[in-house]
Amino acid sequence: MKTVRTGIPPRIAIAGALTATSLINALADAGAQEVAAGEVLEEIVVTAGFRENALMTMPASVTVVAETTIENRGARHLESILNTSANINYSGGASRARFVQVRGVGDLEQFVDPKHYPSVGITLDEINIGGTANAGMLFDTEQVEILRGPQGTRFGGSALAGMVNIRSNAPTDILEGFIEAGGGSYGSWNVGGVVSGPISESLSGRLAIQQVNSDGYIDNSFLGRDDTNGYDERTIRATLSFEPTDSSSYSLTLLKFDGNNGYDAFSLDNTRTTLSDQPGRDDQESVAVAGKAEWQVSDSTVLQAVATWIESDLEYGFDEDWTFAGICDGTLCDPVFDFFSNTDSYSRDRDETSLDLRFLGESDSGAVQYVLGIYTQQRDEDLQRQYYGDFLSFYEAERLALYGQVEIDLSDRWALTTGLRFENFDDSYRDSFGFESGNDDDLQSGELALTYQLSNDTLLYATLSRGDKAGGVNTEASSNLPFMQPQFQAFVQPRLRVATETLVNREIGVKGRYLDDRLELRAAAFHMDRNDAQLESWMWDAVNFLWIGFLDNVDGSNVGAELELAYDATANLSLFGSVGWLDTEVDEITTFDLDLNDFVAKRAIDQAKAPSWQYNIGANLRFNDRLTARVEIEGRDESRFGYYHDSTIGSYDLLNASLRYRTGNLEYLLWGRNLADEDYSVHGLYFANDPRKGWINETYYQYGEPRVIGVSARYYFN
């Protein structure tokens, strides 16, 4: 176990959580009746597991973001609500957040190398959108479930660090729906509608359609435009629910997403004003289908089948120099710079199909529940890169897994959950440089969890979980090996293959409801060992003009704690808050130092995108039956954003608020994010890109949202 260098020691964090529970119990016993009566907190159900589970009985650290929170934040996309959860981060580097980090673990970006699956899985109504998360739009979403720690039994390597499950609203038994329109700052507007209800006695459906547009938050002074980093996104989602008999049910979800977004985010002057003559793009067109069937085989056994298919066309590119040819006219850099004025474009065609078949059963007494299943997935991904010529690659991956889980009630207070998943991962790769590779990897993951019902109000749990992520070949480094200088060849040669990454998570936690079920507390402390962690790094071969990205296997550890509270103080006031503390370490990693122009070994450094602390606190206020408000503050500590340099993304604190008014069937919402208009970063780069300064290495930032304010109107019908 590593020595914790900063922050709260884990023993103190654990003791603090347990002490807080004791104090709350004492308060409840001593005179909770004197507290102003409020409404009882609603029970929250998590759907990401094999069965629906109450949030307060799950032996895991989970956050559920409700539909009202999504709407009050004016959130159109997943990235706008992730900050409500402790120890969750995301990467910029595109128009939307494609990759998520949980407790400091997660991918940062994707360029040439295919990623068979990210370290944090993202699903939308059973459809895997990990790596294509531009489609993570939140219109008509019931809730977003964020699960921390390996979800190895349920999702295998697709959820090495955690899982984000987006669950849309289901079809209803009565005819209902709404239409909505809104607008806001930076030329933003949205329009959409939902209709839901019965089609026949046993068939119901729901259709949701939305269009979102915005100019974005960048001014391009060279082109005289303010929309080069804007959004143009359309989402169509249709769901059918069919229950022909009491013992069978079927559902079908169809999703179509079209996004034509700009990507012009970086400026040589680190401002929101760019000089790009060929702004980038981040386009995505996805069509997906998910079907689920359930049959009651016997009184105690259910057979479930889930099949999915998604096809995505991804167009991603950027102006490599962020400016225009001729900016250096009359200087020594002019000829070189004009050659460097280039775009780097990536066109991907990705197809994925999956089938998950499982039996769910229980004993006659209900004291034992079990799951047995088989899972298979096929993914094909073709890439065309246009960068001083064309580069083509072709990638195929197959997964086959067997899994099982057993939940046993050992007594009235004790319960045990154990699960195992065995998975075979097989992939192949070839490209236009003549490089070919194949990989066959056997993965094992699972969990062991013990819960103890301390009282009617308090649950304690301890969990040991493990996740594996398949290894493979550093395809970009391997393809470019013949073109590198000898010093780079020598460095890369032993790193051409990437070993399987293993993450072992040890976690203890407490969950409780107090003060007549008006106060809800969830706290957890964890320690994770990362063995052969696949960390992304870069090196620059200036002679051959090659930026080479690769994954390097290193060891590390992550220690932290999370605390979440919800309190209905009165009938008109509810308070909420979450705080996360995280201490991460990379034992040793060798990177190419751009300033020294040499390889250096770095020891005991923080992991990327892993802030030491983050928080979200706020209040919901109810003025009367028609008018409500929400105020919240969120913030986080600084964090490094890469390993080939030591630059960091700064800390920040953001103020968000909303005001909602409803009269009859009409509802109006006024919302604002980052109301103090604080400049903060969501991604960063470190290299030499400004010829006006003589090509010196600098840190460049991609900024998050400035102050954004919007208003919307919604008309309900039923």
Question: Nearest to residue 649, comparing CAs of 674, 678, 676, 682?
Answer: 682
CA distance 160 to 150: 5
Question: Nearest to residue 529, comparing CAs of 499, 501, 557?
Answer: 557
CA distance 509 to 562: 9
CA distance 696 to 244: 69
pLDDT at 26 over 60: no
**Residues 542-582: tens digit of each pLDDT:** 899 899 999 999 999 999 999 999 999 999 999 999 999 99
- Give me the pLDDT at residue 334, please: 59
What average pLDDT does this structure show over 677-686? 94
120 close to 161: Cβ distance less than 8 angstroms: yes
Question: Nearest to residue 562, comparing CAs of 2, 77, 7?
Answer: 7
519 close to 513: Cβ distance less than 8 angstroms: yes
Helix (H, G, I), strand (E, B) or coil at 197: strand
In terms of CATH architecture, what is 10-717?
Beta Barrel (2.40)
More confident residue, 453 or 332: 453
CA distance 714 to 68: 14
Q: Picking from 89-98, 194-203, 526-535, which range would have the lowest pLDDT averaged per residue?
A: 89-98
- Give me the pLDDT at residue 40, please: 59
In DSSP terms, 219 is beta-bridged to: 273
CA distance 272 to 186: 13
List the structure tokens of 701: 């930032």
Residue 23 to residues 16, 367, 459, 583, Cα–Cα distance (Å) = 10, 33, 15, 27
| Residue located via tokens 């004016």 | 74
Q: What is the pLDDT confidence band of residue 333, given thresholds at 50, 70 and 90?
A: low
Q: What percent of the chain has pLDDT over 70?
A: 93
- Give me the pLDDT at residue 489, please: 95
pLDDT at 29 over 80: no
What average pLDDT does this structure show over 2-20? 37
pLDDT at 4 over 80: no
Query: Which residues make Cβ contacts (< 8 Å) with residue 15, sequence separation at least 6?
Result: none
CA distance 234 to 297: 40
* Verdict on whether the full-model pTM lies above 0.75: yes
**Residues 465-506: tens digit of each pLDDT:** 999 999 999 999 999 999 999 999 999 999 999 999 999 999
Query: Which residues make Cβ contacts (< 8 Å) with residue 706, sequence separation at least 6?
Result: 217, 272, 674, 677, 679
* Residue 121 CA from chain centroid, whole number: 7
What average pLDDT does this structure show over 398-420? 97
240 close to 277: Cβ distance less than 8 angstroms: no
Q: What is the pLDDT confidence band of residue 121, given thresholds at 50, 70 and 90?
A: very high
- Give me the pLDDT at residue 116, please: 74
52 close to 45: Cβ distance less than 8 angstroms: yes
CA distance 93 to 215: 18
Q: How many CB atoms lie within 10 A of CB 645?
A: 20
Burial class for 707, CB neighbours closer than 10 Å (0-12, 13-18, 19+): middle
- What 8-state DSSP symbol labels residue 79? G
566 close to 575: Cβ distance less than 8 angstroms: yes
Helix (H, G, I), strand (E, B) or coil at 324: coil
- Give me the pLDDT at residue 67, please: 96
Q: How many CB atoms lie within 10 A of CB 144?
A: 26
- Give me the pLDDT at residue 11, please: 36
Helix (H, G, I), strand (E, B) or coil at 301: strand
- Give me the pLDDT at residue 515, please: 95
Tell me the pLDDT of the chain averaged across its residues. 91
- Give me the pLDDT at residue 138, please: 97
- Give me the pLDDT at residue 7, please: 37
Q: What is the pLDDT confidence band of residue 432, given thresholds at 50, 70 and 90?
A: very high
Q: What percent of the chain has pLDDT over 90?
A: 82
